[in-house]
Structure 1
Amino acid sequence: MIKNNQIIWLAETNNFLISTDDSDTDSFSHVSNVEGNSSEIEWPDDEDDEIFFPPMQYFIRLRRRRVDDYMHIIDSWTDAEFKNRMRLSRKTAFRLIGELDKSGFIASHKFGLKPLESKLCFYIFLTFISNTEPLTPIATRFDISISSTFRVIRKVASWILTKLNDAIRWPQDFNEIQYICDNFHLKTGISNILGVIDRTHIRIEKPKNAREYCNPKGHFSIILQATIDSQLRFTNIFCGEPGSSNCTRALKKSPLYHTATHDRNSLFPHNTFLIGHSGYPSLPWLVPPFRENKRLTPQQREFNALHASARKLGDRAFILLKARFRRIKLFTVYRNIAFITDMIVAACILHNYCLNENDHLEVNHD
């Protein structure tokens, strides 16, 4: 029986702390650079303490205040500004922040260090995944180190991945299956469609094994294969195949294919099926369009037209995913395939979460 998730990611389970001292050392890096050469440093005398130390304390307080100031700026945004910048509603964000805070992924204990609060961590993650800007301006905006920013992003992504089974799941209940089929029939005129299967290429920088990841268009990419229901939700994902893989090869490597081949009724009861474009094979549970030729009957041509209208739902889902989480359009700099895959899957999870919360995004689907 297929699992709801198609790839198992090992999430980090250890809590983490980010010291304010760590973020402050950048301002005083010249001290550590000459460690061991104390004779060259003119340390302040006791009588100079009142001159030397107050400025140090002032700069530390100033750095912390800059973080607070930017958080206040975010809080001052209107709901429309928040959604335009963070790509989801403030209500959805606050609900996720509350869940993150209770999850234990962001440390609440101190042990002498100041942890970053869940709200700040989630805002850093949203800023990263909703835009294509590099880490440096994000770290500068939130006034923490680049390494700490990257750790926050990975930590929040690891927490989101724990929601995979709940957020992206195959329809099992009869009423749910019937509802999806009825919606597809209403929109396309074809009965018993349980979903659309399609894939999209996620562009990446040139990796080490470049030839394997070079797709037919000459770009380097990894593949996200997904099944989509009538409400544009992902019901199954398979992510990480190199861009050179064709549709059939990627499909046959997915757990979806193996389960459907050996136990079709567990996934496709009551003669339900998926539809896919002509690049997919014709299977008992997967129906591509009729091959275009001069011998097609009027009924077959009509079916192909309805089939094409159904496939547009898959296109819309991918357009919405990349419009909401613009990092998914192109991963610059990052060459770690595991990290990129985690971020794509996290975006898919948040995509479904937003739809479940009726948090919709206006996107031009043309």
Structure 2
Amino acid sequence: MVLNVTSLGKVPGVCDANNKFLDIYVGNVGSVHDALVLRRSPMYKGSLYPPQGCFLLGDGGYPCIQHPITIVTPYRQPVASQVEARFNRHHAKARNVIERTFGALKTRWRAIFLRALEIRPTFAPKVVGACCLLHNLCVDADDLLEVNEAEEDGRDAEEEDPAAEGRELSGSGLRATLSAEVSAPQVLAACLVEHDYI
């Protein structure tokens, strides 16, 4: 599961590997910091995602936390080692799923998202939500769009909200563990074979 903010304003969304939205939160203005939008979302307040043993991938605008939801973010630039650089590369590749999902959403509904909407501002979140639901219906019906790989948007290098640090349980330990696993894939592969997950 991947968490990201799109250029549709501040719309954090969670999607699966099939480019289907699992959760979105609409209704914040673009000037609100990503971490604040996250803390306002029902997903965060109700600890709705991810399931036990899983985590969300977020870009650099989110805090790396383990509670009340688990979000793993990339290391801040400049990275301290090759292990951190390798982790950031793998993290960016995995996060491309959400970039493609939002890209397909904007491509499918380009008449809505690529021009100014002439509607009441209070109605705009309902339009975005409806487009996400219709996108999921299209995915279920195998009406898929081919979207070019998303360009890196540079957000991974952003710093987390300094005010948010200390308020959440840090996810740095989990990120360090994942970095070590990415740097030692033979250990991870042996673990998978040993447990018959392949």
TM-score after normalising by structure 2: 0.68
Show the counterpart of 1:225.
12
Q: CA RMSD in A?
A: 1.8
Q: Residue 196 of structure 1 aligns with which residue? A: 2
Higher relative contact order (CA 8 A, sep 6+): 2
Structure 1 alignment gaps of length 5 or more: 1-194, 203-221, 261-265
**2:26: which partner in 1?**
239
Sequence identity, in percent? 33
Rate the CA distance shift 1:276–1:364 in 2: closer, same or farther, 3 A: same
Aligned-partner Cα distance in 2 for 1:333–1:310 = 32
CA contact (8 A) 2:59 2:74 kept: yes
What residue number does 2:73 align with?
288
Aligned residues: 147
Instruction: Identify the residue that residue 192 of structure 2 maps to in structure 1.
Output: none
Counterpart selection for 1:272 from 50, 54, 57: 54
Alignment check: 8 A CA contact 2:96 2:149 kept = no
Per-residue deviation, 1:311: 1.0
1:257 maps to what in 2? 44
Distance 1:283 1:334, change over 3 A: same
Superposed, 1:340-355 pairs within 5 Å as 340-355=124-139
Give, in whole Å, the separation in 2 of the partners of 1:294 and 1:235. Answer: 32
2:134 is paired with a residue of what secondary structure? helix
**Deviation (angstroms), 1:257:** 0.9
Secondary structure at 1:354's aligned position in 2?
helix
After the TM superposition, which residues 48-63 of structure 1 pair with which residues of structure 2 at under 5 Å, given as runs?
A: none
Deviation digits for residues 264-287 of structure 1 (CA, Å, limit 9, x no counterpart): xx6334421101111100111000
- Contact kept? 1:247, 1:279, Cα under 8 Å: yes
* 1:294 Cα offset (Å): 4.9
Decide whether aligned partners of structure 1 residues 337 and 309 sit closer, same or farther in structure 2, where only a CA change above 3 A counts: same
1:119-176 deviations in Å (ceiling 9; x for gaps): xxxxxxxxxxxxxxxxxxxxxxxxxxxxxxxxxxxxxxxxxxxxxxxxxxxxxxxxxx
- The aligned runs of 1:98-109 (5 Å cut-off) are none
Contact 1:240 1:341 (C-alpha < 8 Å) held by counterparts: yes
- Render the CA deviation track for 1:55-76: whole Å, top value 9, x for unaligned: xxxxxxxxxxxxxxxxxxxxxx
Amino acid in structure 2 at the alignment position of 1:233: K
Matched, 1:364 2:148: yes
The code of the aligned residue for 1:288 comes to T
Residues 339 and 293 of structure 1, relative CA distance in 2, 3 Å threshold:
same
1:234-254 per-residue CA deviation (whole Å, 9 max, x = no partner) reads 000101100101110111110
Q: Structure 1-normalised TM-score?
A: 0.38
When Rg is computed on C-alpha atoms for both structures, the one with the higher figure is 1
C-alpha displacement of 1:292: 2.2
* Residues 1-55 of structure 1: CA deviation (Å, up to 9, x unaligned): xxxxxxxxxxxxxxxxxxxxxxxxxxxxxxxxxxxxxxxxxxxxxxxxxxxxxxx
Q: For 2:125 and 2:119, how far apart are their aligned partners in 1?
A: 11
Separation of aligned partners in 2, 1:333 and 1:306:
37
> Post-superposition shift, 1:299?
2.2
Higher helix share: 1
Secondary structure at 1:339 match in 2: helix
1:340 positional shift: 1.7
What one-letter code is carried by the residue in structure 1 that aligns with 2:125? T
CA separation in 2, counterparts of 1:267 and 1:361?
A: 27
Cα distance in 1, alignment partners of residues 61 and 117 from structure 2: 31
Looking at structure 2, the residues matched to 317 and 275 of structure 1 have their Cα atoms a distance apart, in angstroms, of 14
CA distance in 2, matches of 1:301, 1:333: 41
Unmatched 5+ stretches in structure 2: 151-198
Alignment of 1:325 with 2:109, yes or no, is yes
Paired with 2:101 and 2:34, the residues of 1 have a C-alpha distance of: 18
Letter in 1 for 2:5: R
Deviations 1:282-320 (A, max 9, x none): 111000011223523x22221111000011111111110
Closer, same or farther in 2 for the Cα pair 1:293/1:336, shift >3 Å? same
SS in 1 for 2:2: strand
Q: Could you tell me whether the CA contact under 8 Å between 1:240 and 1:337 is conserved in 2?
A: no
